[in-house]
């Protein structure tokens, strides 16, 4: 059965997330949970370098549940925790239209500094530039990287 456009997008996004996960495990981080709360990740102190996926962090600007792709604890650069969000856009679509929503939630509701990792070639050029410029006015948005730039950052900071 052929995948729908949405199915292909989800598959590609999952591949980006698996790359980020491989980077974390390559830097000796251990996964301690999926679909758990940030309190669980923060209190799993037996593993000093740990992460969880799809972590519930509270509610956002629409007063709906917010989950982040990765919540990482144990980075020497960010001892209080770090959030990674992965956004993939292979062909023209709606991911980049969600950047203002993502930015506002990061700025107002995310409990830790955040790095957004962008992949694919389908995002509008102006959209990714806009999000990268938000690093200057969003105290909680640490960086916006492509996967290769994220790898370089991780090699120095994780």
Tens-digit pLDDT profile for residues 114-128: 999 999 888 887 899
Tens-digit pLDDT profile for residues 125-155: 789 999 999 999 999 999 999 999 999 999 9
**12 falls in which pLDDT band (50, 70, 90)?**
low
Report domain 5-155's class. alpha beta
* Per-residue pLDDT at 7 exceeds 70: no
Q: Which residues contact 49 (CB under 8 A, 6 or more apart)?
A: 27, 28, 29, 30, 73, 74, 75
Question: How many H helices and E strands in the chain?
Answer: 5, 6
* Per-residue pLDDT at 82 exceeds 90: yes
Q: In this structure, what token pair is assigned to residue 47?
A: 């593993």
- pTM comes to 0.89
Per-residue pLDDT at 106: 98
Q: Which residues contact 50 (CB under 8 A, 6 or more apart)?
A: 29, 30, 31, 32, 41, 44, 72, 73, 74
């Amino acid at each position: 059965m052929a995948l729908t456009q949405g199915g292909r997008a989800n598959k590609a996004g999952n591949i980006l997330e698996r790359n980020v996960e491989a980077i974390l495990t390559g830097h000796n981080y251990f996964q301690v949970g999926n679909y758990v709360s940030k309190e669980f990740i923060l209190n799993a102190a037996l593993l000093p370098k740990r992460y969880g996926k799809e972590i519930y962090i509270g509610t956002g600007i629409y007063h709906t549940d917010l989950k982040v792709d990765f919540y990482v604890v144990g980075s020497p650069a960010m001892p209080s925790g770090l959030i990674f969000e992965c956004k993939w856009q292979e062909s023209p679509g709606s991911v980049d239209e969600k950047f203002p929503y993502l930015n506002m939630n990061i700025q107002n509701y995310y409990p830790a500094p955040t790095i957004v990792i962008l992949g694919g070639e389908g995002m509008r050029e102006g959209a990714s530039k806009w999000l990268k410029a938000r690093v200057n006015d969003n105290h909680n948005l640490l960086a916006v990287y492509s996967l290769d730039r994220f790898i370089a950052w991780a090699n120095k900071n994780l």
